[in-house]
Structure 1
Amino acid sequence: MNQKHMQGCIVGINWGSSNFRAYLIDADAKVVDAMEAPAGIAGLDRDGMIRHMASVAVRWPGVTHVYACGMIGSNIGWIDAGYVECPVALGGLAQGLRETRIGEVEVLVVPGLACRRTRDNASDIMRGEETELFGLLVSRRLPQSGIVALPGTHTKWVRMDGGRVREFSTAMSGEIFDRLTAAGLLASIVDGPAHASPAFFDGVRAGVRRDAGLGTLLFGARAAVIRGDIKRSEGASYLRGLLIGSEVADARALFPELAEASIPLVGSGTVCALYAAALSHLDIDSHAVESREAIARGFAEMHALRLGSPA
């Protein structure tokens, strides 16, 4: 791509714990080029971060506005960009941008969001999702008020209020599933991927009922497979359902209005489909939201606010 085609473009980088994703974003907030590598912050030292940022400058020379969100701004990243306290709108997030230099590249790092929830007075934090959320809001793919779910490794349940992030809750269901089925006792009862089967819905109901604590229920899944109550081929489905069901029970307790609305689901299609099936089984409506270029829109809007003109 020549420099003429890059005029007016910015670079937005979503740099998480496991992956590095960089986007060349044009004046219409469209992604015109991208690069990706399994080079997350958790596996890089500072020299490694410099090398990856240098590769961005080589690929897109002459682009002077570079933004980055995610774990690059955490206490294990390049610079701790801190957190903006909720409730917050996009303008408040943009005001918290932190200037830094990674090697030879000047970068504006997006802060995370922090909240203290109304119902249980507990603290929570997010990094990376805030840029995607505001991108979806600006593109009118999310309601200005209501509950939004972002299923993934660390699923977020977010309460929006008048275009602001009011508060949110994080569940580590995805990471727990990945780790428990990769090694240890529960790995021995898993054969194949999770799907929305009768065993999955059995797990959802067990997770919601909470006849015992989650730790007890998880080991109970092993016992059920060993004793033949659940087929090994359904082990992953039952475990996934158990974790999602427990998570939905938490979300309903924290955000009672969840039961009365259609919940936007933002994330991987496969994972969102499992959440949609679980929610439907619990008589909660949901719908998938296209989010492919949402993070680009979020970066573009922050850039426009910084320049003083809406994108």
Structure 2
Amino acid sequence: MNGPETTTAARAAAGPAPAAGPWALIEGAVKGVAKKYSQDRGAALSVADGRAVVLAVADGHGSAAHFRSDLGALWAVEEFTACALAFAREAVRVGADAAGWPGLRAEARGLPRQVGHRWHERALLHDANSPARGARSPLFGSGGRGARDRAGPPDLAPYGSTLIGAVLTEDMVFCWQLGDGDIVFVDEDGAPHTPLYTGPDLGDETDSLCEPEPWRKTRSHWQPFTGGRPPCLVLSTDGLSKSFADHQGFLDFATGLHERVTGQGVAAVRAQLPDWLARAAGYSGDDTTLVAAVAAPPRRDDET
């Protein structure tokens, strides 16, 4: 599961979990087969007394060139949740008032830049104190972090990571995606929607936070709920979708998640999720992380 650094900081900022709310939050993560440790991170947080949810997953690239990408994924989730918590509270305040939507959408468009800057600052500071290439980066002379008058961007490839995030309220949803991975909405009829899906991956190349100005490659989606909010929203790293023979198989898994929660209860699904993800990781060989918000069913007698 996620490291304590991720969940402790993010959950402290979110405040105590509400006693009830329209969603049940589900999280799961497993290490890839034959890997020493997972490069993935994830978080699912309840905000504003349960009236909003913040979800995030990040996938560190993990190759030899990206040998600190577990840190990059950790920072990606931490910085996204730090920015998204404040945004979620504002989205709850605006609610269904359409007059406030343009300002909210403008703030949403600026969020990837904010997250990208914060992530780069953490990577730069870490590299300054512990140079990834064995010598202090020329970006950092005697002037420390302020010495930015030398040519060439810093090489942050060792920390490279993707990032997917979402803010869900009772009135709308915002999603952002940089790099691979998946976002799936499931509607009332059980039909899946993938608003930021761009087709099957071609090779192992993906957009990354380690690139200059990564916000320019971040895809986004905004949707108000005029006909009722979707009963299920799932974010996952690509280790999950790659474990299926085709994309439809992955979508069937996502759509079945809400059915399982409804039929078996939240506690049962949370208990089974590690086994499901472990089987997926066995096929893909990759780290596999999932976070989800599903319409909370009535509490079962066997749940505490």
Scaled by the length of structure 2, what TM-score is found? 0.28
Bigger relative contact order (CA 8 A; separation at least 6) = 2
Higher Rg: 1
Normalising by structure 1, report the TM-score.
Answer: 0.27
